[in-house]
Chains A and B, each alone.
Chain A
Amino acid sequence: MLKNRSLRFKLSAFILTGTILVAAVLVSYYYSVSRRLILESARKNARHLTMETVNSIENVFRSAAKIPENLAYVLETGMSDEKGLYRLMETVVKNNSEVFGSSIAFEPGAFFPGQDRFSPYFFKDGDRIVQSNLDDPGYNYHLQDWYQIPKELNLPVWSEPYFDEGGGNIIMATYSVPFRWLNDGMNKNKFRGILTIDISLVWLKQVFEGLSIYDNGYGFLLSQSGKYLVHPDPDNIMNASIFDIAELHQDEKIRELGRKMVRGQTGFVNIIEPVTGREVYLCFAPFPSSGYSMGIVIPAKELFADLSHLNRSVAMIGVLGLLALFGVISLISGRITKPIRRLSEATSQIGQGDFNAVLPVIDSHDEIGQLMRSFQKMQTALAEYIENLKVATAAKEKIEGELRIAHDIQMGIIPKTFPPFPDRNDVDIYGILESAKAVGGDLYDFFLLDEDHLGAAIGDVSGKGIPASLFMAVTRTLLRAKSMNMKDISPGKIVTSMDTDLCTENDAGMFVTFFFIILNLKTGELEYCNAGHNPPFILDETGEITALDTVHGFPLGVMEAEPYQTGKVKIRPGARIVLYTDGVTEAENEARELFEEERLLVTLKKMKDIKDPKEITLSIKSAVKGFTLEAEQSDDLTMLVITYLGRNFNQE
């Protein structure tokens, strides 16, 4: 995606992305740490406030609880006078502002023998203290929770809060303390009755309303069974329990919270308030004496309001900063990449062949300056190189021209006029030399030594190119010189003499395979000498093929050794002598197979009745070309065919 964008764009994109990433990491780290700190501090504050509230309320409950506990002690240690009992109860109600009423309820017969129920009750009615009793058989106090529970548990118990219909319909709770016979011998330590005080719980609401918990936080109070005693929603008070709310909203988390609270656990949790659906933090703690439990609810939104505000500011600063950064990066990257852009334009000019394109001037010593200088050097070097290339190309063209001339000269020293002896009818000759390279190392030659003797030779110089062609020229010159100036000539003598000369000063270590014949045109006697060359074939007048396969020594120029011998055969008129170089037998096709002697012999067999040396030569050539097809010619292709007609032959 970025591939086709400018350097300026990429630079800006990468730097900005990097900056945004770093900023995001920083901000989120800072945010999470701040959040944790705020939460931790809120937890501490909420815990502190909760415990403070619990303690202040506990104090009231504890001090109220002391009253019946002390009274029970008085009863147990011997209060048996009815009037005294009433006086004591009236005093208790009168002197304790938090106490709304107090009762003493006896087991059957435990005060007046034979009386089932005896339960005097004193309570406040405005400023008056009113005496009453709870003996109504329909009410049957022995079966009431305030009596039955402490009796069965044998423990003082705070009751579930209740609406007191008689006492002005206010929420009350009753503290019931069991007391026993202490001194009565028969009933010693036996349960005797219950002593109660009723206290109003109206003040609890005020305590909770006085709590300052952010803007919309609040506190609530649950009874032992999870019922709401204090809650912002009046419909819940003394009606619904936290478990009812959980059930209505099918909220297991709230139910679990309720279970923890009524079991007297303490905690700080993060929940979704079922009614409002807002996220809140809740700190809860129990009241050890009554088994009630309170909670403080802090709306998360308000808790983190400052942080959110700060976050918004940070985000705004961040956005502005990034915009500014974008501007600066854009400017700087534009300035940095400007010379590169100019360089790029210049290089594209150079690329189109304008080596003199003007490069931008840069004084800086940074990478771009270095690049520019390197580029200048490259431009100069390139120009020089192109110049050199021109010179070299010219030189090469000159050499190639000279090679062509050399080839022409080489071809010039080889007899190429056919038929060579148009006046004679006893012999006909045809030869070809096709070089693999412009200048080859093969040679053939023929000449008349006298009226009756024809000298002919074929050779193949080691190597190719100019050296080979020069060596070939020397060989040919030597052949002519030796043949013309030697008395009592024979091929062996001439070849030996040539070898001697060629070996002298042959520092280049070149050599030439050489085959030389002298044919007596009168008699058909054929003398020959083979210095390491392919044996020629004689195709006689009947079509029989014989190889002149005697080899008389190494190729010429290798070393001075024994003199080369001369071989002799006699041929009859109509015989054809086929001389060739290894360019024929070792011609390669594309499969790298060689033409081989066999194919040459097959070709020769077809020439049984053909006397024309040109036709024979060209037939062999076309057989070779038919074999090699498209393969590159690997060696010089040289042949010399001599048809011996003889004098008698023509006369016949």
Chain B
Amino acid sequence: MSLKTKQNLFIPIVWVCSCILLTIKSVAADKPLTLVLHWVPQAQFAGYYVALEKEIYLKYGLDIKIKAGGPNVSVNDCVTSGSAEFGTYFLLNATKLVAQGVPLVNIAQLSRRSALILVAKKSSGIFKPEDMNGRKIGIYQEEFSDIPLAFIKNNNLNVNIIPIATGIHIFLHGGTDVTNVMWYNEYHTILNCGYNADELSTFYMSDYGFNVPEDGIYCLRSTYDAYPEVCERFVEATMEGWLYAFQHSSEALDIVIKEMKAVHIPANLAHQQWMLARMQDIILPDGGYEFSTFLSEETYEMTGRILLKNASIGKLPAYDQFYIPVGKYAEK
């Protein structure tokens, strides 16, 4: 008897919830949302492109547009101006921006480990950090430079810093002795310029106390406050896109390469293959398919300490001001 009463109550509740859900869905679907990526199309962003191409975003009731980044695109301008709702940032840069007062929030920390490496040719006699003393170190500008500079400081190295805009050719020509590269990108380029891994000395920043993860998803705090549920669906759909990309890597690569060709970027399959495999190492460092988008307070504090030490920021914003755990993957 009592069971029947509950059933009678249950039906209207479900109906009301469905209506609310559909309303939100239709609102979100009516208004296309834009994700801006912090670099040109490549396998580093495979999960997003796959989620779009395989209609995973649509499945989650989201109409997403992806705006590719590049040398002439500022992710932060797009996000702050409102031309994009979501943007991908490196943790370090986002921290700097928030410290400067940009009202960003991290809603998913995808990368779980640092991909930054300092590389030297063994033929140049560099095997350990001390060997870099008196040598030329090529360092990429801005967003990539904080950690290498901290590394130099930490190891009390007296080095000649050569600012680099792009590429590894100056390193290959011998114009620099050490260069900073990303594990998933330029490191592979060096290998595929004919250097074998055993001919190179590699200094993974993660091994030297600088395990600052990179890629994360950000939006304005106001966006999150207005559409927390949309943010949640966006993060979960994105992670499903990554899962699909890792489980169907050649299909994912086809999707990425199609995107690259669309914007006339040389699409090098071997390089993209490497990049996707390394992204899997970075997003799922423990193997398996157990995603986490959680940013721990310790990691955030460590990132803050590096920036404070380099005087890149004056004060570290509060952890809960910077990070909001969103969706099912953000549980500790």
Q: What is A's interface to B at a CB cutoff of 8 Å? A: 140, 143-145, 148-149, 151-153, 157, 159-160, 224-226, 238-241, 243-245, 247-248, 255, 258-259, 262-263
Contacts and interface: CB of A to CB of B under 8 A. Distances in A.
A8 B163 CA distance: 92
Contacts of B270: 240, 243-245, 247-248
B166 to A, nearest CB: 8
B44 to A, nearest CB: 18
Query: 3 closest pairs, A vs B, by CB?
Result: A152-B175, A244-B270, A143-B165
Contact of A239 (B165, B170, B266): B266
Contacts of B271: 244
B136 to A, nearest CB: 7
Contacts of B106: none
B162 A148 contact: yes
B268 A152 contact: no
A238 B268 CA distance: 10
A248 B170 contact: no
Contact of A144 (B165, B191, B268): B165
A140 B170 contact: no
A157 B193 contact: no
B263 interface: no
Residue among B172, B175, B176 having the largest count of chain A Cβ atoms under 10 Å: B175
Contact of B193 (A151, A152, A159, A226): A226
Given A148-B170, A244-B269, A247-B270, A259 B175 contact: no
B134 interface: no
Contacts of B167: 145
Contacts, number: 77
Contacts of A245: 270
Given A247-B270, A248-B273, 4 more contacts: A145-B166, A243-B191, A243-B193, A244-B268
Interface size class of B (residues with CB under 8 A): 20 to 34
B323 to A, nearest CB: 33
A145 B266 contact: no
B175 A153 contact: yes
A284 B273 CA distance: 29
B4 interface: no
B169 A160 contact: yes
A225 B170 contact: no
Interface string B150-182: 000000000000111111011011111000000
Given A143-B163, A244-B270, A152 B191 contact: no
Contacts of B288: none
A225 B162 contact: no
Given A145-B170, A240-B268, A244-B268, A225 B273 contact: no
A238 to B, nearest CB: 6
Contacts of A157: 173
A145 B141 CA distance: 14
Nearest to B160: A152
Contacts of A145: 166-167, 169-170
A244 B165 CA distance: 24
Nearest to A139: B165
Contact of A149 (B169, B196, B274): B169
Contact of A238 (B175, B194, B266, B273): B266
A564 B190 CA distance: 137
A141 to B, nearest CB: 9
